[in-house]
Structure 1
């Protein structure tokens, strides 16, 4: 039907095509779930934490610096420096060699994430891998090598490991439930869009209102004849025997 339809007609069209919308929505959810389960490789995360403490190496001896002597801004700058060093090839190359990884230090760097809260001296290293055990090994080995090389690089030895990484049994991605929910929602939107598109492009005339919307004057209507309105066959036959002319209507 040409022209913009009313809100009532749109709601009626959606109600009439509700089954189609449900089919498209559920179909999208099923396809998304199967694709995610069978084709997307799960990734596992494992994290380890270390503390930047107050010990420093001066003339080959450890010195404990009083907290009042430390500037908070300087501490944060040191931690930010550590965050850069720990993902540097000078550290990661040794990690690759020790674990015999089939990747370059640059590729390994993309699998590492260093996180620390504001005004906190605790740093968390998160490693991601398709193998949960290897993810834990990467996190622990990276911190271990970083701790060993730090005195040579910055003449300080103020790293203490708080907890070692452990393998997890649950992947962090993909999230099948979230993917399926998103696919169902998108499928519903696509289904509604298709129904509205077909409805607006439909030029079929179904009622008197459709004709009037085309600025055509309606001079009469023909009612449909249903089975219950039809005369009995016996009565029609009796009229024909008497020579009465009778026109039957098409039964709808």
Structure 2
């Protein structure tokens, strides 16, 4: 994704949909980790509490309605003072003396005093990993607090409303809360990771990227199809009756024949940024489809590392007839030369333009950019095959700018979402027993 891109809602949904498994895996991982930590690494804590109320002189006066508003305000202000007394070392140390298994520091961490808003009630709480100890400690703690408060600040009478009870259900860890937090955290982390990966991913993956960032039309998309597996399963006989009949290659042919931008063009060179993007397969199948449309077509093998074209019928002309009607093949090897610099391409293309309706040149990748520039002088346009996830956007733009500076006409692209890279390599094609005409085989035959 380039920095200039502005995402709309549809883009966001598409990105999230593409990374849905990241969301699933990371969320499941965080929830699992939270579950393990909560179950095995966090000790359960139990809480018991005592409620005490501060009254005026004696409890009976509360029922005799002798409280004034000023009394209520005064006792509410005193609550904070009593809470500090409850936390004092005097109360804590006295409680610790009753439970020698705990130090004063431990008791101080367990206890808390919380005033209830708009009341004269204080809640004394104890959190402990033993529910029995929590109950006993909080009751002792409340009694020691009352005793110390009456000694230090006898401003009123402090009475216990509710004594501490045995509670067998732990207050922590809170499994539901922990899992909920882990779930939300997992979703947030996964979404953040998805957008980070999308931001740093500069590979071409969609038609929209090509049209928006590179400003080139997409002539055809080779999409996932059962029929494409026939390339690796067939021999030469049923290959010609099945593989090239796929709809994507027919659409590519129609795009070139019927589009207002290309219908007047008769010669095309097929290339790619990297090797293994399927350009040779595309070139061969495009040529076959053109020949089946009663167009006399020449397929030119100008790729110095390619050894997989079409089985031919030997003849004396440099343009060899193939087993496909109206389809002919040219290779520099027919001229007994492996050095392209010694070949007069201009004369060959002049002859080709005179004798054929369409010319398809299978070119090397852009590692041989100067050769592509040389051949482009004799063709009407250049078509790039782009393997999804293999080509960097900036690299493609740089290559496009170099070619356009030398007047190379790039008429469009073909997105390859299906042809397996391995199936386009020489070793794989040979291993599948597709009968291919190679320079090595010709050299052996000549010998």
Specify the TM-score bucket, using the shorter chain as the normaliser: 0.7 to 0.9
Q: Which residue of 1 aligns with 2:79?
A: 79
Aligned match of 2:378: none
Superposition deviation, residue 38 in structure 1 = 0.9
Distance 2:206 2:78 in 1: 78
Per-residue deviation at 1:116?
2.8
Cα 1:142–1:241 change in 2 (3 A) is same
Contact 1:25–1:191 (CA<8 Å) still a contact in 2?
yes
Q: In 2, are the aligned partners of 1:32 and 1:180 still within 8 Å (CA)? A: yes
State yes or no: 1:171 paired with 2:170.
Answer: yes
1:91-240 matches, cutoff 5 A: 91-104=91-104, 106-154=105-153, 158-207=157-206, 209-215=208-214, 217=216, 221=219, 224=222, 227=227, 233=237
Q: What whole-Å deviation, never above 9, does each CA across 1:21-58 have from its counterpart, x for those lacking one?
A: 111111111111111211112221111122323337xx
**Aligned pairs for 1:6-25 within 5 A:** 6-7=7-8, 8-25=10-27
Assess, with a 3 A threshold, how the Cα gap between structure 1 residues 211 and 46 changes in structure 2: closer, same or farther.
Answer: same
> 1:15 and 1:202, CA in 2 relative to 1: closer, same or farther beyond 3 A?
same
SS in 1 for 2:160: strand
> In structure 2, the residue corresponding to 1:172 is in which secondary structure?
coil
Task: Report Cα offsets for 1:98-142 as digits up to 9, x if no partner.
Answer: 1214222x5523322222334433322111112221111121001
Q: Deviations over 1:173-207 (max 9, x none)?
A: 22111111111111112112222222222222245
CA separation of 1:205/1:64 partners in 2, compared to 1, >3 Å: closer, same or farther? closer
With a CA cutoff of 8 Å and minimum separation of 6, indicate the structure with the bigger relative contact order.
1
Deviates more, 1:32-41 or 1:155-164: 155-164
- Cα–Cα, structure 1 residues 49 and 191, in superposed 2: closer, same or farther, change >3 Å? same
Q: Alpha-carbon deviations, 1:142-166, whole Å to 9, x = none?
A: 1112333444434567222222101
Question: Cα RMSD (Å) of the superposition?
Answer: 3.7
Q: For structure 1, which segment, 143-152 or 176-185, has the greater mean C-alpha deviation from structure 2 after superposition? A: 143-152
TM-score by length of 1: 0.77
Name the CA distance, whole Å, in 2 between partners of 1:175 and 1:168: 15
- Structure 1 unaligned blocks of 5 or more: 57-62
Between stretches 149-158 and 200-209, larger displacement belongs to 149-158
CA distance in 2 between partners of 1:233 and 1:214 (Å): 42
Q: TM-score, normalised by structure 2?
A: 0.47
Aligned partners of 2:97, 2:239: CA distance in 1, in Å? 102
1:37 matched to which residue of 2?
Answer: 39
Find the counterpart in structure 1 of residue 245 from structure 2: none
Distance in 2 between the 1:48 and 1:234 partners? 88
Query: Which region of structure 1 is more displaced relative to structure 2, 45-54 or 111-120?
Result: 111-120
Local SS of the residue matching 2:126: strand
- Aligned to 1:183, what secondary structure does the other structure show? helix
Long gaps (5+) in structure 2: 242-310, 316-320, 330-361, 363-417, 420-447
Q: Distance in 2 between matches of 1:164 and 1:235?
A: 88
Larger Rg: 2
Q: Is the 8 A contact 1:147 1:159 kept in 2?
A: yes
Distance change >3 Å, CA 108–CA 241, structure 1 → 2: same
Aligned pair count reads: 243
Q: Counterparts of 2:214 and 2:61 in 1: how far apart (Å)?
A: 93
| 1:88 alignment partner in structure 2 | 88
